[in-house]
Structure 1
């Protein structure tokens, strides 16, 4: 994997760049639709590629390991062939899912013992078998196994957790060096900065992660309940330490406003379930604000979902029709809303990139944030 930094904004730390993988180029800043179980929920692969114009999607090691299992995905020839996506794929290591299973898992320095959320069966994740699983999945970008600390947590917990994350990283790197890709194309490993909301721990972790010289680096353990101002503070702190010539990935973030603010701090890559999850519940993000399509006020509004939108959804469907689908509990309603929201997120980062290249990102961001935050 290669990364070319093309321009940095004069007034902020926003960057425009290009990642090259064996499954194509990715222009940054980029938003990555979440395909937890090998699919972007409710959206056809065709539409993810042709309408939404995604350049990279996510898969999740934890979910794919449990179902359908690595054996089946290997037999298919890897996740790309299994789900029909020919662009780049990033796989999360499962660390966040293990964090969310805090009531049914046991963590120690060697790894994590947990119970499946599907059938209660016991499984163990270690840095080694998490890398092995991601080799079987065949993602272009593999994530190191880490522990995501909860918020709030005390300093000693965060410190001990960080020590484990760093030890696990060393084992992940060793395993990558001991193994080879299975499907004839390259795989890169991204380490993850942790440290909760403690400045000294974040600095220590960012310095450790930077020392590995990885193809890219991630920032984890944020957007887990802390105030946005704290998230931005930690992000800015870490971006000031991580290498400038490698992409920076802020995991699990976030709202359109969060993404623009974090781009301004120097982040290149984002993912979040919000576009599809909120879409399934009737929340639409548009260029002029947020719509709850279930509200009666849209009952006879025959204007496009987003009059200024550029996706197939915005050209094809009216707000009144979409509201009707939700009122009738038709599955198509959530599918249309999800596709629209992902298209909006991808439009937003493309516009951010355009304005970084044109040199007026700061002014554009200042105009956009009040618009996209308001409720319509």
Structure 2
């Protein structure tokens, strides 16, 4: 029994030892694997540490580059803002110079336009009534227009050079002001042989254009103690009044060519009688009130003719369609011409029978060319209607009204 138990104990011992050896072997394998894993993790940690270090360096480099670019863009932005500010200042200075140029040249261009219209009118008169005084006056007006055009050209050159200096960077405040040219005095209009048949101009009408009106101290000749000087002064005053009177007649003749000078003179005398004195009125005011008076008379005559023809059925002209018109509307002399959108002056007006006024013919002088705008003449050649109210309209000089009768209105309907 003892040997059998001993053998059994030995077998159990061997099994336990064998089991312990197997466990030891497994533990050694596990330890070996753990050591290898620790080694791999250490290598990975070292590699990741190096990668992190490199990425930190790259990040710092990119951050420095970004800050440098930000500084560069900030400098560029400030320089661009300075350039924009400088450009705006330059544009403002150029706009100021252009406005000064237009303001300085406006009167000169209007005088050139007026002079060319008068030259055309004087040329037509000189063909029908040739005289040495008329030719001399025509030459004087041509020289006057040439002087105005030379003044316009020199002024434009001066302003162009000044604008170029401003665009190159010169401050406007550091430049000297350009001396603006004055409108030279216009030559006198000749006395046309066809004088009005009533007793001359009103005695107190001393109206001249604004550019030619003498100072208030020289309106009346100085008193003299000698009769000869008094007579000479009175003759000079009478000649001046006669010249102004003929100027007014010439302007009204251009605006109302279907009225003769005698009728226009009667309107001027009636205007003088109604206002008792024209000495306190400007030249343009006299022209404006005379035009309003003539148009009112034409309107009254037209109303009377309408009332007479409505009673009798026989009439040479019939209205296609009556259009409502407010008779209280004032003449559109203060508005710009609706064809060319330029301002209208009394000497440039062409008044139709419907009381609407437009430019007859305007000359616009540009730097290198002269542009002529026909306005109402060109319009009526194609349309034959008033651009404002669309009534049938004709030029007064092409179809003058016969004495004793007025042209009735023919209306055209536009859908």
Specify which structure has the higher proportion of strand: 1
Specify which structure has the higher proportion of helix: 2
| TM-score higher than 0.5 | no
Considering only CA atoms, is the larger Rg found in Structure 1 or Structure 2?
2
- Could you state the TM-score of these two structures normalised by the residue count of structure 1? 0.26
* Larger RCO (CA under 8 A, 6+ residues apart): 1
- Could you state the TM-score of these two structures normalised by the residue count of structure 2? 0.25
